[in-house]
Chain A
Amino acid sequence: MLLEVNNLNTYYGESHVLQDMSVAVEDGEIVALLGRNGMGKTTTLKSIVGLVKPKSGTVIYQGKDVTGFPPYKVVREGIGYVPEDRRIFPNLSVLENLKMGVKHGEAAKTATRNIWDFERIFRHFPFMKARTHQKGALLSGGEQQMLAIGRTLMGNPDLLLVDEPTEGLAPVTVKEVRDILEEINKAGVSILLVEHNLKVAMSLANRVYLMGKAHLGFSGTIEELEAQPDIRSKYLEV
């Protein structure tokens, strides 16, 4: 098992936003985490990466307990985090944004399978090569999303946590982002995906988790989910 999240409980002040949340990702999988707004999908990713501290529960990555680690230590183990809203550094150039993704420090794992460098990034995202010196703020939403993904790939992750990558994008761009994620997965990167667009999620994922209010409602393969329309309407349809 690549990632094993067991019984996470996370609070924002008094409100209990994650209740015994458990998720697992196998090597090579794309796993989608679905659910309506405010169910705790983003918080699940943030709890894994250490941006919020869970009160109890464990996050095991490649057999190592990384629960409660600061974010920089968690990601140095080989996780990549692509946040909601992209969070491109607006005052840095495209090239600098990519450089920010390169992991340094003794604890940074040297990846063996997925070596990403500028050349490979530019092959996947050709627009970046022509605009290396443009400021991040001047990119379109779709380009910023690509850059956010590219930036994280520069850290050679084995597992990518991607939060709402297609939110607010034009349909054409949604497809582009979807295809990029598929390509990256084919290249050997496992993905835990939080996605609003059900079509995108279903077309990518091997397995899905559905979140109800703060807790896990359903987990299974895409086929199992499709076989149970009542589950779908309970957790996804408004």
Chain B
Amino acid sequence: MDPTTAMYVAQGIHGLAYGMVLFLVASGLTLIFGMMGILNLAHASFFMLAAYFCYQALTITGNFWLALLLAPVAAALLGILVERFLLRKVHAFGHIGELILTIGVSLVILEGVKVFWGTESLPLRVPPILQGLVSIGGLDYPIYRLFVIGLALVVLGIMALLLYKTRLGMVVRAAVSDANMVNALGVNVPLVFMFVFGVGTWMAGVAGVAIAPILTVFPGLADQMGMDAFIVVVTGGLGSIARAFLVSIIFGLLSSYGVQFVSTLAPVLMFIFMAIVLVIKPMGLFGERE
């Protein structure tokens, strides 16, 4: 295998892995927005918080797998509490109140993280089995990134089953288009909201844990991911998981190959892509006018 091809493949794997993580965050964001009409500006904060939870759990137990399991659940529980006891209270006052509340929550999480864990980058070591490279067909692949891709695919599979094969999923899909109507058909919509918020936060949590070993854990984690996920959601059109998936993968590849080919432009490639898409299709890449 010549080195150029190897480099392309490696960049592709990096891009896919980032795209997958991005998808995990963006899909939660788009689901919550689609159903509740809330642009959850604290979403990426839960993503970051899960990374810190993972670091903490790993420090205490020494078991990465346990940390992988626990950290997203802990973040999701916190998310559920925020929805139940804060967001629901301001819901009656409209979206501005909700928006301001989520900004407040994100600030509390950010400062809380600094108080508990400090501001420096914390390294997170994965178990030996996930370290290093694996050689397939003469090409070396970084194992951990393959693992991240696999993990995201598993979550994607679970979500697809939940959304398309269960009654709860059907209710969520219906509520994304008209939550009031679902309520008027006898469904306890506030309870479904809470559940969706929990699942969305859990997905962000999984993403946080997945990215922690790659980027290390630091308070700026939320900013970068929050912006990228927001761009994905806007570009794909709000409220659809499938679109979020496609756009996340495009962005992942765009950013990794962008660094390789047009490194000076790489940081703004996503913005350029978003701008072009929105000029041509103002409702998002696959969005439809109501």
| A169 close to B (CB within 8 Å) | no
Q: Are A91 and B176 in contact (CB under 8 A)?
A: yes
Given that A89-B178, A92-B170 are contacting pairs, would A104 and B190 also be in contact in the complex, using a CB cutoff of 8 Å? no
Given that A70-B190, A72-B189, A87-B178 are contacting pairs, would A100 and B184 also be in contact in the complex, using a CB cutoff of 8 Å? no
| Interface size grouping (class) on chain B | 10 to 19
Q: Are A71 and B180 in contact (CB under 8 A)?
A: yes
Our pick among A49, A92, A105, A108 for the contact of B184 (Cβ within 8 Å) is A49
Q: Are A83 and B174 in contact (CB under 8 A)?
A: no
Q: Are B183 and A89 in contact (CB under 8 A)?
A: no
| A207 close to B (CB within 8 Å) | no
Using Cβ atoms and an 8 Å threshold, which residues of chain B touch A104? 167, 186-187
Given that A70-B190, A100-B170 are contacting pairs, would A91 and B177 also be in contact in the complex, using a CB cutoff of 8 Å? yes
| A41 close to B (CB within 8 Å) | no
Using Cβ atoms and an 8 Å threshold, which residues of chain A touch B170? 92, 96, 99-100
Q: Are B184 and A76 in contact (CB under 8 A)?
A: no
Given that A87-B178, A89-B178, A99-B167 are contacting pairs, would A72 and B184 also be in contact in the complex, using a CB cutoff of 8 Å? yes
| B188 close to A (CB within 8 Å) | yes
Main secondary structure of the interface of B (DSSP, over half): helix
Question: Among the interface residues B167, B180, B187, which one has the most CB atoms of the partner chain A within 10 A?
Answer: B187
Q: Are B171 and A100 in contact (CB under 8 A)?
A: yes
List A72-126 residues whose CB lies under 8 Å from chain B: 72, 75-76, 81, 83, 87, 89-92, 96, 99-101, 103-105, 108
Contact with A along B146-190 (1 / 0, CB 8 A): 000000000000000000000100110110111011111111111
B160 nearest CB across to chain A (Å): 15
| A215 close to B (CB within 8 Å) | no
What is the CA–CA distance of A147 and B222 in the complex, to the nearest angstrom?
45
Question: Among the interface residues B170, B177, B185, B187, which one has the most CB atoms of the partner chain A within 10 A?
Answer: B185
Our pick among B177, B183, B185, B189 for the contact of A151 (Cβ within 8 Å) is B185
| A166 close to B (CB within 8 Å) | no
Using Cβ atoms and an 8 Å threshold, which residues of chain A touch B180? 51, 71
What is the CA–CA distance of A101 and B178 in the complex, to the nearest angstrom?
14
Using Cβ atoms and an 8 Å threshold, which residues of chain B touch A87? 178, 181
Which residue on B lies nearest to A49, using beta carbons?
B184
A135 nearest CB across to chain B (Å): 11
What is the CA–CA distance of A112 and B193 in the complex, to the nearest angstrom?
31
Using Cβ atoms and an 8 Å threshold, which residues of chain A touch B174? 89, 91-92, 96, 100
15 pairs of residues in contact across A and B, judged by CB atoms under 8 Å: A51-B183, A70-B183, A71-B180, A72-B186, A72-B188, A81-B185, A91-B177, A92-B170, A92-B177, A100-B174, A100-B187, A101-B185, A104-B186, A152-B185, A155-B185
Interface residues of B, Cβ cutoff 8 Å to A: 167, 170-171, 173-174, 176-178, 180-190
Given A51-B180, A90-B177, A155-B186, 13 more A-B residue pairs with CB atoms under 8 Å apart are A49-B184, A71-B180, A71-B184, A72-B183, A76-B186, A89-B174, A91-B173, A91-B174, A91-B176, A100-B171, A100-B182, A100-B185, A104-B187
The 9 closest A-B pairs by CB, nearest first: A103-B186, A71-B184, A71-B183, A89-B174, A87-B181, A75-B186, A81-B184, A76-B186, A72-B186
Interface residues of A, Cβ cutoff 8 Å to B: 49-51, 70-72, 75-76, 81, 83, 87, 89-92, 96, 99-101, 103-105, 108, 151-152, 155
